[in-house]
Amino acid sequence: MSSRKNDISRREFILKAASAAVVAPLLISQAKNVSPPNKLRHVCIGVGGMGWHDLNKFKSHPDVDIVAICDVDEKHLKRAAEALPNAKTYSDWRELFKNEANAFDAVNVSVPDHNHFAICFQAIQLGKHVYCQKPMCHDVAEIRVLTEAASKAGIVSQLGTQHASGLGDRTAVQWIKEGHIGKIKNVYLCSNRPGATEAYRYKGPRPSTSENPPATLNWDLWVGTAPMRPYSPAIYHPSKWRAWQDFGTGWSGDIGCHIFDAVWKGMGLTAPLSVQARVQESWQQSPERMGDTWPQSNHITWIFPGNEMTASDTVQVEWFDGEFYPPEDVRALFSLSDYPAESAMLVGTEGALLIPHTKMAVLLPQAKFEKVMPPKLEERDHYHHFADACLGRTKTESHFEQSGPMAEAIILGTVALKEPGKLLEWNHKKMKFSNLKEANKHLSRPYRKGWEVGGFKA
């Protein structure tokens, strides 16, 4: 949609959908009014790649019964069916929801980012519990609506930030709240994973030639809500879709929720006041690539409102990846030569806290804090924790009411990447940029005809 009239109507829907009755083809069943079953009847949507990992984690829970599986790629579906011979198989999640609506309680969504909202929203409309892979949704508007819809429906939700349940992240959250490093002055997030460029950051323009998709792949279902484009091998499916703006959310969208999570929870951050991004010159100088792929390197800066945890009335949080690294003086607080490639560093008035991704947090300088012992926390499996919550035994670590606002802030960073160098002032309540109206077009997208859901229309 490009006209001003359509933009206004879409924005009005976005702001009202979560608090009003949203038109959808499926009936709402309030999950909070349903007694927990003894067994969780679960559905897996997307069973290749990360979806295969997710399937096996849910399969390992003694009280989870996977009753149906779905994937657009027959090869992935065949492998999953062999592991779950009693599960019903589908290639189209819409058919699964229609046919099995009364046969399952919960679903995990492990598909490319651009189809997260459509599947999760419809599941919530059915009153199903939802485990969704990060970064929750492709667009800011989708995240806002999905967060509100989950809260209104009273379902159990969990973002796929599995390391948030790990001892390292949970220890970091507690140490931040306990105030060991004083008031927080600055935060530095980074993901400079070796080899990531070749695996996930496509450098070329859109292919000029295409091929028929393999007979085992339903390309129309894979594209889903995104604009249709010709299939090209080894470019989109199964993994490099993250590099493309129509499908993925780039490197910061993929890994950002992992790195940000403990910081967000520990500091009690809320919606940012502004966001700004730098990218490498070679990407910015190529209009074709700027319109198709995400940059290979990102430096994103958010300004958040301060609170009782911060040293001033605002706090700056920065993200670095690719060719951008945290400043040397920040890395030197731990080690210039051995600084964790994926980590968060919080600099406070009384010290610093390093949170290496997947590892134990470290208070700095270490000599000063050598007597501070990690809290005694029980081991926790993120997937099993979700299942237990669905069964009424606990509350999830990364429920949407908490992780949704964080994911929204992260995806605001991807919006800033499309307007590099420009300071974008964010009005959270009105869900728009107050100083650069043209940037608001990046907050949502029209869905492909026939794939409209939840009021998002082409």
pLDDT in tens, 17-72: 433 333 333 333 334 434 456 899 999 999 999 999 999 999 999 999 999 999 99
User: Considering Cα of 25, then 229, then 222, then 124, what sign does the dihedral take?
Assistant: negative
Buried b (16+ CB within 10 A) or exposed e, 275-291: bbbbbbeebeeeeebbe
CA 101/CA 242 separation, integer angstroms: 30
- pLDDT tens sequence across 59-96: 999 999 999 999 999 999 999 999 999 999 999 999 99
Residues 322, 192 contacting (CB under 8 angstroms)? yes
The two tokens of residue 278 are 């730098």
**Which of 29-43, 158-172, 173-187, 354-368 has the lowest average pLDDT?**
29-43
CA 99/CA 102 separation, integer angstroms: 8
Q: What is the CATH number of domain 4-163+382-397+439-443?
A: 3.40.50.720
- pLDDT tens sequence across 422-444: 999 999 999 999 999 999 999 99
From residue 297, give the alpha-carbon distance in Å to each of 188, 201, 279, 325: 15, 9, 6, 10
pLDDT of residue 210: 85
pLDDT band at 364 (very low <50, low <70, confident <90, very high): very high
CA nearest 68: which of 31, 93, 39? 93
Tokens 């999830």 belong to 396
From residue 392, give the alpha-carbon distance in Å to each of 40, 43, 124, 261: 10, 18, 17, 24
The two tokens of residue 270 are 């809320």
- pLDDT tens sequence across 327-343: 999 999 999 999 999 99
The two tokens of residue 55 are 């399937």
pLDDT of residue 281: 87
CA 427/CA 274 separation, integer angstroms: 9
Tokens 């606990």 belong to 394
CA 179/CA 169 separation, integer angstroms: 16
pLDDT band at 245 (very low <50, low <70, confident <90, very high): very high
Average pLDDT over residues 234-249: 90
Q: What mean pLDDT value characterizes the chain?
A: 90
Average pLDDT over residues 139-156: 97
**What share of the chain in percent tops pLDDT 70?**
90
Which residues fall within 8 angstroms of residue 90, CB to CB, at 6 or more apart?
68, 69, 70, 96, 99
Half-sphere exposure of 141 (CA within 13 A, CB side): 26
pLDDT above 90 (res 174): yes
